[in-house]
A and B are shown apart, each in its own frame.
Chain A
Amino acid sequence: MFIRFPGVPVVRLCLALLLVLSTAAATRAQNAAACTLSLSGRVADHESRADMPGATVVVLETQQATQTDNAGNFHFHLCAGLYHVRVSYLGYESETAELRVERAVVRDFQLHPDAVVLRGATVRGARVTAPVTQPTATLSGQALQQTRGEALGEALQKISGVTAIQTGPSIFKPMIHGLHSNRLTILNNGVRQEGQQWGQEHGPEIDPFIASRLTVVKGAASVRYGSDAIGGVVLVEPRPLRDSAGIGAELNLVGMSNNGLGAASGTLEGNLRRLPAFSWRVQGTAKRAGTMRAPGYYLKNSGFAEYDFSAAAGWRKDTYGVDAFYSQFRTQLGILPAAEVGNPSDLVLAIGRSRPLQTGSFSYDIRRAYQQVRHDLGRLTGFVRTGNAGRLTATISQQVDYRDEYDKNRPRNNNLAARNLPELSYTNRTSTAELLWEHQRWHNFTGSVGVAGTYQANRYATGSRQFIPFYTNTIGGAFWIERWQKDKWLLEAGARLDRRDLQVRRGDRDASGAFFVDRTRFQYTTPAASLGATYDPTTHLTLNLASGLTRRAPAANERFSDGVHNAQYELGYDLVPGNGALVPETALNVGLTATWHDNPRLNGELTLYQTRITDFIYQVPILPPVITIRGALISSQFQQTNATFRGIDAAGTYQLAPRWLLGAKGSIVRARDTRADEWQIFMPADRAEASVRYDFADQPGGRFSQRYVQLGGYAVARQTRVPADYAARDYKAPPAGYALLGLQAGTTVRWGRLPLEVSVAGSNLLNQRYRDYLNRYRYFTDEMGRNVTLRVRVPLELSRKP
């Protein structure tokens, strides 16, 4: 590789670029011969399929050299003949190909990340593709591979500052900087995921195997993604469709020892040689898990099953393209019987037990109570280059989210019981459309203007218990973002305006038991604005400052939840006697990030942030509880206050010796209720993680390559920053802190022509009993005991090389 001389530390990137540019200029002058056969192609990352601008392409015979453009394309003019072309890029293994040029030749290259430089390169890669001023973090390549088999919200916890509200082993609702649910936007392959956010135990309905990259934007990104993105954005991105002729496949297998989880996910994709514009992909995942084991006992009914598939097809030319995507996610999740308690005396009994009354043995069966969720998503995107002016992209999508929740007990009535219907059955349909125009660089400005619309309808089935009312929600918005980039500076400013119309039809009964329908309508105009800057004082340090102002209109569930869900009574703000209508909340967010990158030894990132939310909407347990015929029921309702969230995320690596790498991560959140002048309830405790990794030297011609061993520790403190007189706020005090030990090892095995990536990871190796403050099962059971996970990834190239 051109800038990695043995024994010499990595040469500064810009110096290297200069060097290459000057050689390219020099060689171009030499080869002014009248040969006009074209050799062109595109260089991309093999893992993410992302374009690689700035890669060096050299024709060894003629010493012609060039750099790929912003889209990763390169182009030469050659005489007819046999050539060797070498492509190199910092952090990737160079590749040389033999090419016979007799007419115009198109040859694409996909470079493999170089194992040693990979981790340092992640940060830089992100900067190349999306220079945004907000702090972002990415899981891809090996880091993503190490989370295969986990739920989306579970995998995201690898990123510092991201935690999850957990319900047992299968449900993880992501939380960024202490904010969650209606304040996070998840983009599933470019479409805003519209699931049913009204439950704390409703995880995102997305198969993480779809993604080749998970990106988290920490902090408000409301201008681009809509007013719900106060807390942040999660981007679930598959790799781009294959653009070189042939058929490829990938198989992922995961097995876990603790709950007998088995997962298999396969992808098959292709590009037609005769029709190079057309690419396609099909993907499917099956996952099954049995009873989870806490140290000493099983968690009854904690198994789950998940079956997903997706298909994509695209037609892509230089000037226009269309791309269609369809995915279906289906899951069935068992709910711990001990957690289905509503009556406080039952709850006190359940909480008082050191382990649940019913534990049972290992089984894959899922019995009542359980949830059954299905999410269908269809998307169509088209783009066209508008001459020299820019690029116009249109996206339309349709999603349907079905959620059925079955209570622990069937109805008493035998006829009803025989029908085995869910007690809660909700369907949420959402259509979205977006038109985006990205203009070409003009002076030092680049930017985009867009309009977006959403139509959503929420219904429950006849016979379902009423909890969330019927509603339709119509949103229309427009935004404009401009970036100015010059030398070491990038400035970004954006503005957005949304109009939201929420129409609610709520069934209720009056004091005499007569049924009536309450119709209400709310209309809001909510603005959002952002201002950010990125400054690179040196080639190894980047500073980001991001700020945002967002107004978010209250969602239907925050206003009108009413009834029993998960054996608990929940009430929306508007229905609390004496309350008026909920008002929109306003968030002011500031974040400062410093990133050290491409250093030979120490690399890392530090983020400081503050989010101030006036009229912050949150759910709290209420006392005295609501009296029902089942006695006093555990109750919670929505409240509004002013809140301030401050915190630090830190992550870094240190190259101790050539093959030894130390890693550390940590995050701290401080959330205050400034109206009541006390700590905010249910906030993540302080946490830190440390690891040491050894990468073995590859033996030339050996069967094994990229061997590594990594030892890690993960520690979470007890949450002590909770509201005063906590016993009156929650049924159990925050649990003690804990520290866990993990060990993993992996390698790439050459098996015939196949490079199999195999890894084994052990978590909670000491089989410790512990509970986490943000797990809703913490009242009843311990967390998962020791678990060993085996992961195998098999990439297959089914077509012959050209």
Chain B
Amino acid sequence: MHTPFKTSFLRTAMLTLLAAAPLFSACKKDNEDPTPDEDNEQITTVTYTLTPVGGGTPVVVSYRDLDGDGGTAPTIGTLSLAANTTYVGALRLLDETKNPVVVTSDEVKEESDEHLLFFEPTPANLMTVTRTDKDKNNLELGLETRLVTTAAATGTLKITLRHQPGAKNGTFAPGTTDVEVVFPTTVR
């Protein structure tokens, strides 16, 4: 080993160390905590309000999952309706993780030509639900409904929101499911 080699090696080693220095000083940001995801849309709450046409106390049923997907199981209400009654139904969707609370159903209404709601009772004769609102293409939407009960019975009501951007044609098939909740239902 002669001197020129030694100097050039030392120089190289120095440069290497200099270049390496920033790599091993952990970034300050690495100690930051995560923050709530304010920009990410989700739906935590579905509320279905049914007002008897002849007057009376409205019936309210809701599905709430405040911690989002997974974690603690959602709270699911039971729908109790009177037999042989006609109700006017209004559906509200909320994101309660945001402050202020985001009313998702208003956004659904704005983009009514991309959304379609389905109301499916089981057994099928438990009640009849008719959509009474329409989008700009004159296709039904389903945020506003009319619900008619007949005989006393028990069963379930499944409410489904289909998101169908650019594909809505009045049927279930296109798009994806954004909401699918099932309420235990009693008609008496």
Contacts and interface: CB of A to CB of B under 8 A. Distances in A.
Interface of A: 317, 319-320, 322, 340-343, 345-346, 349, 357-358, 380, 382, 384, 387, 394, 396, 398, 408-414, 416, 421, 423, 429, 431, 433, 455, 457, 459-460, 462-466, 469-470, 472, 505-513, 515, 517, 562-564, 567, 569, 571, 575, 626-631, 633
Contacts of A464: 37, 40
Contact of A433 (B5, B24, B46): B24
B137 interface: no
A564 B163 contact: no
Contact of A463 (B5, B23, B37): B37
A198 B1 CA distance: 49
A320 B107 CA distance: 66
Contacts of B38: 462-463
Given A416-B41, A464-B40, A627-B73, A387 B108 contact: no
Given A343-B176, A413-B107, A472 B30 contact: yes
A629 B70 contact: no
Contact of A629 (B34, B74, B165): B74
A466 B176 contact: no
Nearest to B67: A509
From A322, A345, A629, A633, residue with most partner B Cβ within 10 Å: A629
Contacts of B32: 470
A413 B103 CA distance: 10
Contacts of A462: 35, 37-39
Contacts of A463: 37-40
Majority-rule SS of B interface residues: loop
Nearest to B63: A629
Contacts of A410: 165
A513 B44 contact: yes
B58 interface: no
A628 B176 contact: no
A396 B177 contact: no
B124 interface: no
B43 to A, nearest CB: 5
B40 A423 contact: yes
A319 B5 contact: yes
B77 to A, nearest CB: 14
Contact of A470 (B8, B33, B108): B33
Interface in B150-181: 160, 163, 165, 167, 173-174, 176-181
Contacts of B27: 429, 457
Given A343-B176, A510-B67, A629-B43, 13 more contacts: A411-B41, A455-B23, A457-B27, A462-B35, A463-B38, A463-B40, A466-B37, A507-B35, A507-B37, A513-B67, A513-B96, A513-B97, A628-B69
From B1, B41, B63, residue with most partner A Cβ within 10 Å: B41
A431 B177 contact: no
Shortest beta-carbon contacts, A-B, top 6: A631-B180, A513-B66, A463-B39, A507-B34, A509-B67, A412-B107
B3 interface: no
B176 A511 contact: no
A106 B163 CA distance: 72
A416 B44 CA distance: 18
Contacts of A416: 39, 41
Contact of A357 (B24, B35, B63, B173): B173
B29 to A, nearest CB: 7
A465 B37 contact: yes
Interface in B79-109: 96-97, 102, 104, 107-108
22 contacts: A320-B12, A343-B176, A346-B177, A380-B16, A382-B12, A382-B13, A387-B1, A408-B176, A412-B108, A433-B20, A464-B40, A507-B37, A508-B67, A509-B66, A513-B96, A563-B68, A563-B69, A564-B69, A567-B176, A575-B70, A629-B74, A630-B178
Given A413-B107, A433-B24, A463-B38, A626 B176 contact: no
Contacts of B1: 319, 387
Interface of B: 1, 5, 8-9, 12-13, 16, 19-20, 23-24, 26-27, 29-30, 32-44, 46, 63, 65-74, 96-97, 102, 104, 107-108, 110-111, 160, 163, 165, 167, 173-174, 176-181
Contacts of A569: 69-70
Contacts of A571: 70
Contact of A626 (B5, B70, B173, B177): B70
B70 A563 contact: yes
Contacts of A317: 5
Given A412-B104, A509-B97, A563-B69, A629 B37 contact: no
Contacts of B40: 423, 463-465
Contacts of A469: 34
Contacts of A567: 176
A429 B26 CA distance: 10
B66 A511 contact: yes
A51 B96 CA distance: 66
A530 B8 CA distance: 38
Contact of B177 (A343, A394, A517): A343
Contact of A508 (B5, B71, B102): B71
Contacts of B19: 380, 396
Contacts of B66: 509, 511-513
A178 B95 CA distance: 43
Given A345-B180, A469-B34, A513-B96, A322 B74 contact: no
A507 B36 contact: yes
Given A341-B176, A384-B9, A412 B41 contact: yes
Given A412-B108, A629-B44, A433 B23 contact: yes
A349 B176 CA distance: 11
B71 A505 contact: no
Given A507-B35, A512-B66, A631 B41 contact: no
Contacts of B24: 431, 433, 455
Contacts of A457: 26-27, 30
B68 A509 contact: yes
A349 B39 contact: no
A409 B165 CA distance: 8
B54 to A, nearest CB: 33
Nearest to A431: B23
Contact of A509 (B13, B16, B63, B71): B71
A572 to B, nearest CB: 10
A382 B16 contact: yes
Nearest to A462: B35
B41 A320 contact: no
Contacts of A433: 20, 23-24
A510 B180 contact: no
Nearest to A396: B20
Contacts of B180: 343, 345, 629-631
Contacts of B39: 416, 421, 462-463
Contact of B46 (A414, A507, A564, A629): A629
A319 B2 CA distance: 11
Contact of B29 (A342, A358, A408, A459): A459
A322 B20 CA distance: 14
Contacts of A345: 177, 180
